[in-house]
Amino acid sequence: MAYSNKVLDHYNNPRNVGALDKHDPQVGTGMVGAPECGDVMKLQVKVNPATGIIEDAKFKTFGCGSAIASSSLATEMLKGKTVDEALEIKNTVIVSELALPPVKIHCSVLAEDAIKAAIADYKKKNSVGNHAAAQVAQ
Amino acid sequence: MAIKLPIYMDYHATTPLDPRVLDAMMPYLTTKFGNAASRNHSFGWEAEEAVETARKQIADLIGANAKEIIFTSGATESNNLALKGVAEMYAERGNHIITAATEHKAILDTCKRLEKHGCRVTYLPVTASGLIDLDMLRESITDKTILVSIMYANNEIGVIQPVAEIGKICKQKGVLFHCDGVQAVGKVPVNVIQDNIDLLSLSGHKIYGPKGVGALYVRRRNPRVQVTALMDGGGHERGMRSGTLNVPGIAGLGEACALCRKEMAEESARLGALRDKLKDRLAASLDEVYINGTMESRLPNNLNISFAFVEGESLLMGINDIAVSSGSACTSATLEPSYVLKALGAGDDIAHSSIRFGLGRFTTEEEVDYVADKVIDVVRKLRELSPLYEMFKEGVDLSKVQWAAH
């Protein structure tokens, strides 16, 4: 299989590899996929609580080159976005940016899922978005 | 000496033509172009002579008689001819065939086809070693069983089945034994008499011969085996395989067999040592590596190894100046991980992390060193990237994690 230059670039020089402290309340962690399926992505965001802006993002991925590139690109896209803007990131943007072939589209879907999971974890920790529901319940 | 890149280490897939084989073929591609079936002139005679020389060279390599060699287009055809040919020829005697779950697709898919035409097929499982259980084979044979088809050596994990024992069981039970010898012939001693093999498939391009030519050994005595032809035509090859003989290909296959016979002992010792060096270096420098299939009974040139927590395709991408193959789903057309590794019961994650190294006649020690260095380097890099390796290092039992499957 031939890889696009962008996939090769992210594979050879992955951006933002690493881990953030998952116990930090400012950090949201998302892990999606399964080893049996051949890919697992862990994506983390660190949010400034005052501004709601994602100040840092890290990833680690077990998967093919396209999965690594998709998550690497996702961390780049996340930085500087607000939490709500991050939720707007669609897998199709990753597909076109990396020129993924049809058989690798699931890699971009996984990256989108990882973003959503990380943000959901952050929101859960900080009860963001749960206030409204809580008030109604009262 | 500087290493020439890329390095070819996928000799189970195919092999380059040995220059000596090309020399043997060349006259039949140029001046000696006759049809081996032309009985009336010297062009035909010299072509026929080349074919008969090759038949003898092949027979000598496997302990057969030259008359027992049927030329085909390759091992896929040989396997089809053996299975379909026996199923049809012996239909009155029974309809049951026994094979194994780790056979090549040319066997498994042929069996599936035969099932649609009224045959019953038993697919024997293998143990974690990759070998079949002989008691299970014995128990699976019924009075309807006409054929047992078990490969000599596996194309992915290189394990060598207990062929002589299988042959003995088949002989005792009066059942024909077909053996797919593609990976074994020319690499390890194969003898159809000692192993009680009734039909044996082999291929040219796996033994430094040309592509597009293979053979099927069909036993002529004790018992005399017959197969129904797949194709109708001029009745070549004792009526079992019609079609003008591929004389240059056959001459090449014959020469390839002669070279293997001459050099096998020395070559297999050399390759075994190189393979062990590769294995030992990888195992010494990396933790959590698993050999797939037993090392006790294995081709000397095969190493199938899983680097846990690293996905196979991403590893191949990192070692892109080395030609090897992976059992990872991402490298297969079906997006399924290797069914052979799955049959070992190792789990899909191990299959996704597997690499098959196939060493061969032109592999050098320098290449093995280069490959070991490179693989170690890339595996380490990818493990830095791997959330699974991180969890493993934290002491998380990955088998107990609830994965969000997608």
Full set of structural domains in chain B with CATH: 7-13+264-398 (3.90.1150.10), 19-260 (3.40.640.10)
- Of B192, B177, B173, the residue nearest B59 (C-alpha): B192
Residue range B126-154, pLDDT digits in tens? 999 999 999 999 999 999 999 999 999 99
Asked if the structure places residue A134 within a domain, the reply is no
Q: CA B354, B160, B9: angle at the middle one, nearest 5?
A: 45
- Of B296, B278, B252, the residue nearest B357 (C-alpha): B278
Asked if the structure places residue A84 within a domain, the reply is yes
Chain B: residue whose CA lies nearest to A111: B406
Asked if the structure places residue A53 within a domain, the reply is yes
Q: Which of B313, B314, B326 to probe the A interface (max A CBs under 10 A)?
A: B314
The pLDDT score that the predictor gives to residue B349 is 84
- Asked if the C-beta of A58 comes within 8 angstroms of chain B's C-beta atoms, the answer is no
Residue range B81-109, pLDDT digits in tens? 999 999 999 999 999 999 999 999 999 99
- Please give, rounded to a whole number of angstroms, the shortest distance from the CA of B404 to a CA of chain A: 5
Strand partners, B122: B98
DSSP state of B10: B
DSSP state of A67: H
Asked if the structure places residue A135 within a domain, the reply is no
Q: How confident is the model at residue B162 (pLDDT cuts 50, 70, 90)?
A: very high
Does position A138 have pLDDT exceeding 70, yes or no? no
Q: How confident is the model at residue B401 (pLDDT cuts 50, 70, 90)?
A: confident
Residue range B331-360, pLDDT digits in tens? 666 667 899 999 999 888 888 999 999 999
Q: What residues of B are in the A interface, CB distance below 8 Å?
A: 309-311, 313-314, 317-318, 328-331, 335, 337, 347-349, 352, 384-390, 398, 403-406
- Of B315, B316, B289, the residue nearest B303 (C-alpha): B289
Count of domains for chain A = 1
Concatenate the DSSP letters of all residues of B128-160 into one string.
TTSPBPHHHHHHH--TTEEEEE--SB-TTT-BB
Asked if the structure places residue A56 within a domain, the reply is yes
Q: CA B201, B25, B82: angle at the middle one, nearest 5?
A: 15
Concatenate the DSSP letters of all residues of A75-115 into one string.
HHHHTT-BHHHHTT--HHHHHHHHT--GGGHHHHHHHHHHH
Q: Hey, what amino acid is at B14?
A: T
Catalytic annotation present for A64 = no
Chain A: residue whose CA lies nearest to B352: A38
Does position A133 have pLDDT exceeding 50, yes or no? no
Q: Which strands, in side-by-side order, build the sheet including B302-307?
A: B289-291, B302-307, B354-358, B325-326
Chain A: residue whose CA lies nearest to B354: A38
Q: How confident is the model at residue A135 (pLDDT cuts 50, 70, 90)?
A: very low
Asked if the structure places residue A133 within a domain, the reply is no
Q: How far is CA B315 from CA A66, B45, B193, in A?
A: 12, 53, 43
Q: How confident is the model at residue B36 (pLDDT cuts 50, 70, 90)?
A: very high
Asked if the structure places residue A136 within a domain, the reply is no
Per the prediction, chain B carries an average pLDDT of: 96
* Residue A11, domain extent: 5-128
- Of B128, B123, B102, the residue nearest B112 (C-alpha): B123
What CATH code is carried by the domain that includes residue A115? 3.90.1010.10
Asked if the structure places residue A114 within a domain, the reply is yes
The pLDDT score that the predictor gives to residue B399 is 84
> Angle formed by the axes of helices A5-12 and A91-98, to 10°?
100
